[in-house]
Amino acid sequence: MHHFDSDYMEGAHPAILERMAAENFAKHDGYGCDPICDSARRRIREACGAPDAEIHLLTGGTQTNATMIKALLRPYEGVVAADTGHINVHEAGAVEATGHKVLALPHTDGRLAADTVARCVDAFLADGNRDHMVWPGMVYISQPTEYGTLYSLAELEALSRVCRDRAIPLYMDGARLAYALAAPACDMTLHDAARLCDAFYIGGTKCGALLGEAVVIPRAVMIPHLFTTVKQQGALLAKGWVLGLQFDTLFTDGLYLKIARQGIDTARRLAEGLAAAGYGTPFKPETNQIFLRLPPERLQELSAHATFSPWETLDDGSSIVRLATSWATDMKEIEAFLDELGHP
Amino acid sequence: MHHFDSDYMEGAHPAILERMAAENFAKHDGYGCDPICDSARRRIREACGAPDAEIHLLTGGTQTNATMIKALLRPYEGVVAADTGHINVHEAGAVEATGHKVLALPHTDGRLAADTVARCVDAFLADGNRDHMVWPGMVYISQPTEYGTLYSLAELEALSRVCRDRAIPLYMDGARLAYALAAPACDMTLHDAARLCDAFYIGGTKCGALLGEAVVIPRAVMIPHLFTTVKQQGALLAKGWVLGLQFDTLFTDGLYLKIARQGIDTARRLAEGLAAAGYGTPFKPETNQIFLRLPPERLQELSAHATFSPWETLDDGSSIVRLATSWATDMKEIEAFLDELGHP
Amino acid sequence: MHHFDSDYMEGAHPAILERMAAENFAKHDGYGCDPICDSARRRIREACGAPDAEIHLLTGGTQTNATMIKALLRPYEGVVAADTGHINVHEAGAVEATGHKVLALPHTDGRLAADTVARCVDAFLADGNRDHMVWPGMVYISQPTEYGTLYSLAELEALSRVCRDRAIPLYMDGARLAYALAAPACDMTLHDAARLCDAFYIGGTKCGALLGEAVVIPRAVMIPHLFTTVKQQGALLAKGWVLGLQFDTLFTDGLYLKIARQGIDTARRLAEGLAAAGYGTPFKPETNQIFLRLPPERLQELSAHATFSPWETLDDGSSIVRLATSWATDMKEIEAFLDELGHP
Amino acid sequence: MHHFDSDYMEGAHPAILERMAAENFAKHDGYGCDPICDSARRRIREACGAPDAEIHLLTGGTQTNATMIKALLRPYEGVVAADTGHINVHEAGAVEATGHKVLALPHTDGRLAADTVARCVDAFLADGNRDHMVWPGMVYISQPTEYGTLYSLAELEALSRVCRDRAIPLYMDGARLAYALAAPACDMTLHDAARLCDAFYIGGTKCGALLGEAVVIPRAVMIPHLFTTVKQQGALLAKGWVLGLQFDTLFTDGLYLKIARQGIDTARRLAEGLAAAGYGTPFKPETNQIFLRLPPERLQELSAHATFSPWETLDDGSSIVRLATSWATDMKEIEAFLDELGHP
C-alpha cells in the first residue's frame, strides 16, 4: 500500500534534525528572541528582497491565518476569499471565532480572480445598504491554491493592484509555497510575493520542517504589537528557536526550493502515470497535489493500491480525491505504485 | 411623493401610545421583572398554545438573532441559513461577532428547503474531514422570508422533522411574522410555530410596536441562564415594561393579527396596481413586501412617484427593488399613488 | 411602601410622550437617518460646544459601553477601569464578550485617580514581560461613579492629561450624567466633557427618556465606520427617530439639566432625613444615589417602609444598600417616607 | 554568566531526539490520528489510573488554557482563578479573546484556597443582581503555582469538593506538573489529579519535551467535539505524531518524573546556596522555581553573575525576581555559580 494522503506525513529534512541535535542542550532565550531566530529572519528577509520586513514564526497554518486576519481587520470588516479557500472550509471556523466573516466569492480552479474581487468590493461600496453589511477589509489567497493550481505573476499583480487601489491588504497563505516556487509553470518569486502582498506566510510544515510557518510583513510598521496578538492567539512557541532553526536551515543555500523540486518531480511522474492509466483529473496538476475525479469502480480500484484524501462526492456518485507528494517522496515509490496499478 | 421604503417608518399602534401615557408615571421594576411583562408573557404563551414557554422581550431583530444564535450554539457549531438570510447579508456580521459561522445554503425564492438542509447536514456527517469543519448546529429561517415569500405548514413540518431527526434546533426569525400569519396564503399558526420550532421570535418593531421582539422558547428548560446572555449582548432593556406593555397590548383581543391585515390588504392592492401598470415582479408577492424587477427607464419612472428600497443591481442593468406596506398604511395612499402612476 | 430601587422605574418626561404622539403617524426614515435625529445631534453638539462631534444614539448603557470599547480597542488591548466600574461588575461580561479584558484598578469612593492610571500604564510600559500582557488601550470612567460620587473638573483634567500624554483614549460612561451636571458640588460642564474625553455618552434612560444613550465623539474622524459596528452589536434601532425625538426634546431649552435637579433635590432631602434618623452612609451622597451601611436590625427596619437595591454584604453581617431618586421623584413622597420612618 | 531565566531554555530529553530521528522518514497519519499518539494516550491513561480518559495533545500552555476554558464554559460563564494565575496576567488576554471573563480572587503564596472559591461562588449565587453578572463556570488552578508553591493533596481535595458540590468543573494547569510530582513536599499523584480534576494538562514544554502539553479529561464524554474546538483555536498540529512521540517517551518507564527530579535537586541546592549567601525569598521554594526579593544593590550584585526573570517591582524599590532550574540543569553549574557568588 502506498500513502499519498498528504504532504505532512514525514518529518523534517535531515539537515534540520542534525542541527536540532547540535543545539538541543545549548541555552536559548524564549519566544523567538534568540540569535537563531534572528538569523532565520535575516535570511528570509534576504530571500524576499525585503530588508525591512517584519517576520514572525508561528507553528501551524490555521493558527497563522486566524492570527493574521484578526490582526489585519477592524471589527466591522471581513476577509474576502475564494469559496474553496482553506479558511472558508477546513479551518473549523477559526476566522469566525475571532469575530470576522469570510466573504466567499466564486473561484476558477481554486483561484480568485482580480476582476471578481474588484466587482465585489465596488458593488459593496456602491450598495445603499453597505453600512449594514460586513466591509471587505482584506483579501485572502492561497499560492498554490487548495486545488494545487497556481496564480501567475500577472494574476498576482492584478490582484495586488485591485487591492491597493482600494486600500485593502492582500494576504497570501503559503502553506505549500515551496511547491509553487519550484513548479515549472510558476513565474513568480519570493521577491514578487513581498512586493505584491501586504502580508504572507512561507509554509514550513508541508515543505521540509517538522512544524512552523514564517509570516512576512514587508512593511514592518503595518501591524502594531503583533507579538502580543500572536501570544493571545496561543501561537507563540516558548522554544521559538526550534522554529528559527528550521527556517534558518531551509533558507540556507536555497534548501527550501531545492527540496521542493522533489515533490514537484514525483508529482509530475505520478500525474503522467495516472493519466496514462486512464484516471481523469478535474484540474491540471501544477504543483504537488493531484486531484482525480473517479467513478465508484475506479475509486475502488485505486483504493486497493494507495491511500489518499477524499475531497468531495459529486451528485453523479463519482468522487473527487487528492493525492499528494512531498519533498520526501521517493521516485521509486511512485514507479512501484504505477507498476502495481498494472497499466502500461 | 409616496413612501414605501419599509414597514418601520411609522411608530406604534395608537392603543400602545395610550397605554404608555397611562403607565408612564407608575413605578415599574426594571429588566422585564414586572407585572406588565408577566401579563405579556402569559398572553403570548396562550396565543402560542405553549403554556410552559420561556419568553424574553428584546429590542431589535439583529440583536435578537445574534443573542439567540450565540445562546443556542457551542463553539464548534455554526448556523445553517439561506444565503439570502438576513443574518448572512444585512446584519453587519453580528453572528460572526459572536464567534460563529453562517453556513449559507441556496434558497428558492428566499426559502430554505428541508431537503437542502438534510443533504447539507448528512453530507457533513459523512465527510471524512468533518472534524476540521464547522458543525451545523442549528437552522435559521425567516417567516416570511427576506423576499416576502412564505413557508407553507408542510414545508415547516418537513424542516422541523429534518432538524429533530438530527437533533439540531430550528430557529425562526419572525421580524414580520404578523404579515405571514395574516396572509391569505398562509396555512400555519402561532401554535404551529411553537410546535415546530425550538425557538422563534414574534416581531414587534415592524408589526405595530415602537420597538421590541418577543423570543419564544417552547420548552423552557432548553437554554440555561438566557437572561444573563441577553444582558451580556446589550439586549436587556432597563425599562422592560415598555416592551411588555406593547406585546401585552398587541396580544390582547388578537390585535397583532388584526392590524397586520391592513398591511396585507394594502400590499395586495398595490401589487395588483403595479402589475396592471406593467411592473414585473420576480417573486409572487405573498405578504407586505413587493419586489419588482425594473429596467432603468421604469426605475426612473417609479422613482418620480415613490420612494422604496434598492435591493440588487443585476448584470443586465435592471434593478431589484422593494416596496413595503405596513399595518399603518392607508388604502387611500395606495389609490392615490396608483392614480399618479397614470396607468389604468 | 416607597420605592427607591432605581432611577429607571418611571417612563419619559411628559414633553417626550406628547411629542411621540404627535410624530407617531408621520413617516420617518430608519436607523437614525432622519431630520429629528439630525436636530438632536445638532442640539447635543451645541450643548457640548463641539461643532464637529460625531453623535450616535443607542438604546442602553451596557450595549453602549460594549460597542464603544470594541470600537476603540485593537485586539491586544484592554480597558482600564475602577474595579467598581459598571463594566467590571454588572454587565455580565459584555466587554469580555467582545474579546477584551477589563484591567481593574483600585478606586477611591468609586473614583479612578489619575495617579493610579499613570502608575498602571507606566509600570506596564516598563515591564519586561509587557508583550505577554494585555496593553492598556483606553480608560473607562463613570461620571457620576457607580457610588454616586463625582469627579471634580480638576480630577477629570488630570485623567485627561495622563491619557493624552500616553495616547490612550479616555471614555466616560454618563448613564447618569444629568445628575452629575445638576449636582451643586459639580464643577464640570458638557463642554468640559467634550474637551477632556475622546468619547462619552449622555445617558437618557435614567435621566428623563424612555430609553436611549447619546454617544459623543468630539473629534469625528476618530473611529471609522462606527455605524456598522453599532449595527453589528445589535445596537442600531430601526426606528431611530424614537431616540432622536427624546434627545431633541431633552436638549431643548436645557430640559435635561432642569429635570435632573428634581432628582438632586429629592436625594438631598432624603439623605438629610436618613442621616437625621441615624442611618450611616459609607460615601458622601453627591448626586441622586444614596448608599447606606446598615446593620441587620436597621436593614429590617428600613425594609418595612421602602424598597431599595442590595449592593453588598460585608463580613460583619452589615449590608450596603442603595436608594435612588430621579427626575420623576415627588418631594411629597420623600417627606411621607421620612415621616413614616418616625424619626424627628 | 549563568542562565536561570526559565525552564524552557534547552530542548528535549535525548531519548526524544533519538526517537524522532528514528521515526522521521516513516509515514504517519496527521492530526494525532496515528499509532504513536495512540500509544502515548494509552500510557498517559495508565499513569493517571484513568482508563477512560480522553487525551488531546496540544503545543503550548496559553493555547491549551484558552482552548479548554472556551470548551468548558457557556457564554454567560467566566473562569475563577487566583489573581496571580497565568491566565490572568501573562497570557495577553487569551481567555478574554474567547469571550470569557477571568474572575480573579486573592491568593496565598500563589494558591487559591477552597474556602475562597466557596465564598465567592456562594456569594454570587446569593446576590440579588447575579443575573447581571458573570457566572462562575469553572475553577482554574496551577500545580505548581505561578510562584512555584504546591497544593497539598488535602487542599486539592477540598477544592474538588467545593467544585463538585456546586457542579463547577475544576481545571488544573500543569505546565510544570512534573516538578510538582517530583518535589519532596508533594503528596499528590497523577491518579489524584485524574480523580479530583475534571480536566488538566500535563506539561511537556517545560518538563523534557521540545513542545507539547497533554490534556487529560478523565470522564471522556464531558466535552463534545473537542477535536474541532482544538482545530478552531489553531491548536491542532498537522504532524501530531511529533507530540505523541514525546509524551510516549516521557511516559515510558517513568521518565517524566525521573528527569524532573534533576530540576528539583538543582533548585534545592541553588536555594540553599542563595539563602546562605543572604538572599531572601518571599515564598518557600518547593519546586524548580526560586523567587527572591532583592534590594537594588543585591539585584545588581546577582545580575553580575546570572540572568533570571524580573517579576515585579515593589514600592520600596526592591524587586521580586525568579530563578528557574530544569530537568537539564547541571549540578556543576549550580556549584560554579554559587562559588562565583563568593559567599561561604
CATH code of the domain in which C90 resides: 3.40.640.10
Q: Name the residue among D103, D59, D12 with its Cα closest to residue D231.
A: D59
Edge-to-edge strand ranges of the sheet holding A102-105: A54-58, A213-217, A199-203, A170-173, A135-142, A77-82, A102-105
Q: Is A134 on the interface with B (CB under 8 A)?
A: yes
Cα–Cα nearest to A100, from B210, D42, B92 = B92
Mean pLDDT computed over D302-314: 93
Q: Do D28 and A9 touch (CB under 8 A)?
A: yes
Q: CB count, 10 Å around CB of D71?
A: 25
Contacts of C30 in chain B (CB under 8 A): 5-6, 8-9
Q: How far apart are the CA of C29 and the nearest CA of chain A, in angstroms?
A: 13
3-state secondary structure at position C277: coil
A221 pLDDT above the threshold of 90: no
D177 and D89 belong to one structural domain: yes
Is residue B44 classed as helix, strand or coil in its secondary structure? helix
Pair A119, A205 in one domain: yes
How crowded is the C-beta side of D186, counted as CA atoms within 13 Å? 26
- Which residues in chain B touch residue D137, judged by CB atoms under 8 angstroms apart? none
Tell me the average pLDDT across D69-78.
Answer: 98
User: Are residues A194 and A239 both part of a single domain?
Assistant: yes
pLDDT for D301 beyond 70: yes
Question: What percentage of chain D reaches a pLDDT higher than 70?
Answer: 99
**Residues A225 and A307 occupy one common structural domain:** no
* Same domain for D117 and D266: no
Residue A4 has, within 13 A of its CA and on its CB side, a CA count of 29
More confident residue, A165 or D342: A165
Contacts of B313 in chain A (CB under 8 A): 123, 126
Mark whether A178 and A272 lie in a shared domain. Answer: no
Classify each residue of B66-86 as buried b or exposed e, where b means 16 or more C-beta atoms within 10 Å of its C-beta.
bbbbbbbbbbbbbbbbbebbb
Sequence-distant (≥ 6) Cβ neighbours of residue C216 within 8 angstroms: C44, C48, C50, C53, C54, C55, C193, C194, C197, C199, C200, C201, C202
- Does the ipTM exceed 0.95? yes
Residue A267 and residue D235 in contact, taking contact as beta carbons nearer than 8 Å: no
- D229-258 pLDDT, tens digit each: 999 999 999 999 999 999 999 999 999 999
Tell me the pLDDT tens digit for each residue of D255-270: 999 999 999 999 999 9
Q: Which residues pair with D321 in a beta bridge?
A: D292, D310
Convert the pLDDT of each residue in C149-168 to its tens digit: 999 999 999 999 999 999 99
The minimum CA-CA distance between A129 and chain B, rounded to whole Å, is 8
Grid cell digits, residue C69: 470599547
Interface contact flag, A59 D12, Cβ < 8 Å: no
In angstroms, rounded to a whole number, what is the distance separating the alpha carbons of residues D207 and D209? 6
Q: Using 50, 70 and 90 to split pLDDT, how confident is the model at A52? A: very high
Residue of B nearest to C58 (CA): B234
Check whether residue C173 and residue C276 sit in a common domain: no
Residue B30: the pLDDT is 96
Inspect the interface and report whether the beta carbons of A225 and C76 lie closer than 8 Å: yes
Q: How many helices (H) and strands (E) does chain B have?
A: 14, 12
Specify the pLDDT at position D221: 81
Percent of chain A with pLDDT over 70: 99
Best D77, D88, D134 residue to mutate vs chain C (most C CBs within 10 Å): D134
Mean pLDDT of B307-329: 94
Is the pLDDT at A220 greater than 70? The verdict is yes
How far does the CA of residue C333 sit from the closest CA of chain D (Å)?
26
Dist CA C231 CA B292 (whole Å): 27
**pLDDT reported for residue C342:** 80
Q: What is the pLDDT of residue D343?
A: 58
* Amino acid at position D114, single letter: A
Residue-wise pLDDT for D158-181, tens only, equals 999 999 999 999 999 999 999 999
What was the pLDDT predicted at A315? 86
Written as one string, the DSSP assignment of C278-296 is T-B-SS---SSEEEEEE-H
Domain limit, last residue, from C202, C226, C254: C254
Q: Is A97 within 8 Å of B99 when comparing Cβ atoms?
A: yes
**CA-based nearest distance C94→chain D, Å:** 9
B252 vs C: CB within 8 A: no
Q: What is the mean predicted confidence (pLDDT) over C54-78?
A: 98
Give partners of B (≥3 CB pairs < 8 A): A, C, D
Q: pLDDT tens digits for C284-295?
A: 899 999 999 999
| Angle between helix A14-23 and A240-250 (nearest 10) | 140
State how far residue D245 is from chain B, nearest Cα, in angstroms.
23
Share of chain D above pLDDT 90, in %: 96
Domain end, chosen from B255, B275, B305, is at B255
What is the rounded distance in angstroms from the CA atom of residue C130 to the CA atom of residue C136? 10
Domain boundary among B205, B229, B255: B255
Q: What is the pLDDT of residue C343?
A: 58
Rounded to whole angstroms, the Cα distance separating C19 from A213 reads 62
CA quadruple A42, A45, A46, A52: dihedral sign: negative
The Cβ of residue D1 has, within 10 Å, a number of other Cβ atoms equal to 9
pLDDT grade for B343, boundaries at 50, 70 and 90: low
Q: State the average pLDDT over residues C223-252.
A: 98
Q: Which residues pair with C292 in a beta bridge?
A: C321
Only one residue has cell 476569499, namely A81
Rounded CA separation A289/A5 (Å): 10
> In chain D, which residue's Cα lies nearest the Cα of B236?
D132
pLDDT tops 60 at residue B344? no
Nearest to B24 among C10, C92, C205 (CB): C10
The residues near C335 (Cβ < 8 Å, ≥ 6 apart) are C269
Residue ranges of C 149-208 with Cβ closer than 8 A to chain A: none
Residues B113, B23, single domain; the answer is yes
Surface-to-core class of residue D140, CB atoms within 10 Å of its CB (0-12 exposed, 13-18 middle, 19+ buried)? buried
Q: What is the pLDDT of residue A343?
A: 58
List, as ranges, residues 253-282 from B with C-beta within 8 Å of A: none
**Cβ atoms of A236 and A225 closer than 8 Å:** no
Contact A251, A44 (CB under 8 A): yes
pLDDT over 80 at C79, yes or no: yes
pLDDT in tens, A107-118: 999 999 999 999
DSSP tag of C113:
P
C289 touches B: beta carbon within 8 Å: no
Instruction: Report how far Cα C302 is from the mean position of its chain's Cα atoms.
Output: 27
Backbone angles phi, psi at A92, to 5 degrees: 55, 30
CA–CA distance from D30 to each of A178, A290, C25, D33 (Å)? 20, 19, 64, 6
* Whole-number pLDDT of residue C221: 81
Contacts of C135 in chain A (CB under 8 A): 225, 228
Q: What is the pLDDT of residues D106-115, one digit of tens each?
A: 999 999 999 9
Whether residue A344 is predicted with pLDDT greater than 60 in this model: the reply is no
Instruction: Please tell me the distance in Å from C263's CA to the nearest CA on chain B.
Output: 15
Q: Is the pLDDT of residue C36 over 90?
A: yes
Do residues D326 and D270 lie in contact, with contact meaning Cβ atoms separated by under 8 Å? no
Residues B184 and B75 in one domain: yes
The verdict on B74 touching D (C-beta cutoff 8 Å) is: yes
Over 90: is that where the pLDDT of B122 sits?
yes
Alpha helices, DSSP H only, in chain D? Answer: 14-23, 35-48, 61-72, 86-89, 94-97, 114-126, 153-165, 177-181, 190-196, 226-232, 241-250, 255-276, 296-303, 331-341
State how many domains chain A has: 2
Residue C277: give its domain's CATH number: 3.90.1150.10
The share of chain B scoring above pLDDT 70, in percent, equals 99
| Same domain, residue pair C248 and C262 | no
Domain that holds residue B266: 2-8+260-341
Strand pairing category for B54-58 and B213-217: antiparallel
DSSP annotation of A130 = G
Q: Which amino acid is at B151?
A: Y
Q: How far apart are CA D141 and CA D151, in angstroms?
A: 9
Dig out the grid coordinates for D330 from the structure: 547541571
A34 with A146, same domain: the answer is: yes
In this structure, are B132 and B278 located in the same domain? no
pLDDT for position B342: 80
pLDDT of residue D342: 79
